[in-house]
Amino acid sequence: MNTIKIFDTTLRDGEQSPGASMTMEQKYEIANQLARLGVDVIEAGFPISSPHQFDACKYIAERVKGPVIAALARSVPADIQAAGESIKPAERKRIHTFIATSPIHMEYKLKSTPEQVIERAIAGVKLARNYTDDVEFSPEDGTRSELPFLCRILEAVIDAGATTLNIPDTVGYSEPHEFGAFIKGIMNGVPNIDKAIVSVHCHNDLGLALANTIEGIKNGARQAEVTVNGIGERAGNAALEELVMALSVRNDVLPFTTNIDAKQIYNTSRLLANIISMPVSRNKPIVGENAFSHESGIHQDGMLKNRETYEIMTPQSVGREMSQIVLGRHSGLHGVKNRLTELGLSLGDDELKRAYETFLKVADKKKEVFDEDLITIANGVLGIPTASFTLDYFNIISGNMSVPTATVRIKTDEEMFEEAATGDGPVDAIFKAIDRITGLTTILKRYDVRAVTSGKQAMGDSSVSLEINGDIYKGKGSSTDILEASAKAYVNAINRYKILSRNKETKNE
């Protein structure tokens, strides 16, 4: 009983996030990845809510193998019938039925008495049992319900055939100690609780979803309802990746396991973020860009001496490549020297001191000092010239009735180059024109675009990762024009390659 079942509701509660709607094919792609991740239950949707939801649940039920496929339904016959029919093809299926139990919901939303609510809950569970032996019941707004009444209705639905009891903190109202005590009260107050698994479903309105989920587990819950990246209604749900890694890293005080393959976490997070166009916050635990990045000089010094000084898990454990030493205004001499050494540049003490002084001036003007900046600084100290490409001009011809064509002009300190190319889209055409100018064979490994300000004149950031001669080079660009930002990012990556390869040649000579 120390294995915690992971019930993933990314495709149901998660998709209810404003802007997170997915096509049926996209939901299927996410469901397949969730199966690879190792979740125990996939809540595929709310079938009665629309034909699309019904079809998506059925499509996933027919094709995704491994996890239990669940569908949500109110304690209403039409809902339960739709849920049952939608997941009928699944090898393992569950109907998740719910009804509100808090005084405010019963009075104002349901306009029903407590006794009527109990009758509807029992009838819903019994009907669901006609479609599957695996029935989950949730008392909506559970944490604002009166505990004695909640225990009564839970006892009744277990007798009716419910096999999982999910206790939702629907509005994210509880604090951890209170929620833990609430779950403990249910464990002690429902006589037949041993016939069902207790689950928790916590929302993050006060930023307490993960803490509440853990407290629920500590007090007897053996299933956790979570979403990838913590998406969901309003402020979202407890994040799958945070719960799984909290149980893994703090197994000394949380002696529980899951069936999750943690090395699939990062891929799953990125897939979802790309599909719904909802970038992960840089400081998001586990999967955010900064989660394994270090800029502070003190932290960098500690990391270089022993990774465990500032990292409680490895990036590889969640499917990421490596930790990053980010060079910026907070970086110390040790971090700069280490990166220069990694780049193959050996500077004497006096040269290093001068390079570091220049580095600090550059770092005051930029958020991050990249490898090509550092090499330019070092080469300046060593007296080695470093020319680079600059985007001078580009023009795009594109439309749904024409072949996307890009003309790009790039300059160096000494020359000007211009080429044109066609592509699958305007961005692809730009990249191919740049490749013609440079004469390089590149493989685009990653391409991201995001808005960094709001409004019609929003500034956009673009980032690319290019594979050139077996190595990866990253570039970034910003502009109010997404195409220009993309072109700048691509040129920036090419410049990194040129500077680094030139430096290697100089070193070999």
pLDDT in tens, the chain (509 residues): 699 999 999 999 999 998 899 999 999 999 999 999 999 999 999 999 999 999 999 999 999 999 999 999 999 999 999 999 999 999 999 999 999 999 999 999 999 999 999 999 999 999 999 999 999 999 999 999 999 999 999 999 999 999 999 999 999 999 999 999 999 999 999 999 999 999 999 999 999 999 999 999 999 999 999 999 999 999 999 999 999 999 999 999 999 999 999 999 999 999 999 999 898 998 999 999 889 888 788 887 788 788 888 899 999 999 998 777 788 888 889 888 888 887 767 788 998 999 899 989 888 887 788 777 787 788 778 776 665 788 999 999 998 889 999 999 999 877 899 999 999 999 999 999 999 999 999 999 989 887 655 555 566 788 899 999 998 888 888 888 999 999 999 998 898 888 777 666 655 55
Alpha helices in 388-454 (DSSP H): 426-438
Please check whether residue 162 is in contact with residue 192, taking contact to mean a CB–CB distance below 8 angstroms.
Answer: no
Q: Pick the closest to residue 289 from 182, 367, 220, 353 (CA basis).
A: 367
Please give the Cα distance from 12 to 505 (Å, whole number).
55
Q: At what angle do helices 349-365 and 371-382 cross, to 10 degrees?
A: 140
Q: For residue 45, give the nearest of 29, 33, 31 by alpha carbon.
A: 31
CA–CA gap between residue 183 and residue 297 (Å, rounded) = 44
CA angle 35, 6, 188 (to 5 degrees): 160
Q: Structural domain boundaries of the chain?
A: 5-276, 293-382, 390-508
Q: Among residues 297, 369, 380, which one has the least CA distance to residue 345?
A: 380
Give the closest residue to 294 by CA, choosing from 325, 316, 321, 322.
325
Classified as helix, coil or strand, 166 is strand
* Rounded CA separation 309/337 (Å): 20
Tokens 């290019």 belong to residue: 466
* Class of domain 5-276 (CATH, top level): alpha beta
With beta carbons less than 8 A apart as the criterion, state whether 141 and 170 touch.
Answer: yes
Question: What phi, psi does 254 have (nearest 5°)?
Answer: -125, 80
| Multiple choice CATH, 390-508, 3.40.640.10, 3.30.160.270, 3.20.20.80, 3.40.50.620 | 3.30.160.270
Distance CA 74, CA 76 (A): 5
Query: Global pTM?
Result: 0.78
DSSP state of 396: E
